[in-house]
């Protein structure tokens, strides 16, 4: 992978080529695909479990529908997930320092 970056300190704005340190062999890509697949499966299982517990039917979640259609706006669920993910990422960043 080749990335271009601009030298900020020079006046002539020269560009240089820098090679990435990431190995993109077929085995490495396969490992990443397996990891992504496992993560998607775990997230799907959590969605099913939390849905059965009533997590996606919070008072702030709006649901409109007719005979053959339904529109769902999970506003409260998005706010709660955002707060939880913000706290998790904040804790990770806090303990990395």
Query: What is the residue whose two structure tokens read 């990443």?
Result: 32
Mean pLDDT of the chain: 82
pLDDT tens digits, 3-31: 555 555 555 555 555 666 667 888 989 99
Band of pLDDT at residue 88, cut at 50, 70 and 90 = very high
In order of 15, 22, 53, the CA distances from 6 in angstroms are 5, 21, 51
* Residue-wise pLDDT tens digits, 67-84: 999 998 889 988 988 999
pLDDT more than 70, % of the chain: 76
């Amino acid at each position: 992978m080749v990335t271009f970056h601009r030298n900020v300190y020079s006046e002539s704005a020269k560009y240089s080529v820098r090679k990435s340190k990431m190995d993109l062999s077929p085995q490495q890509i396969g490992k990443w695909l397996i990891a992504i697949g496992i993560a998607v499966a775990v997230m799907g299982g959590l969605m099913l479990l939390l849905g059965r517990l009533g997590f996606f039917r919070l008072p702030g979640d709006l649901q409109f529908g007719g005979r053959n259609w339904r529109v769902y706006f999970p506003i409260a669920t998005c706010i709660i997930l955002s707060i939880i993910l913000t706290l998790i990422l904040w804790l990770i960043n806090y303990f990395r320092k």
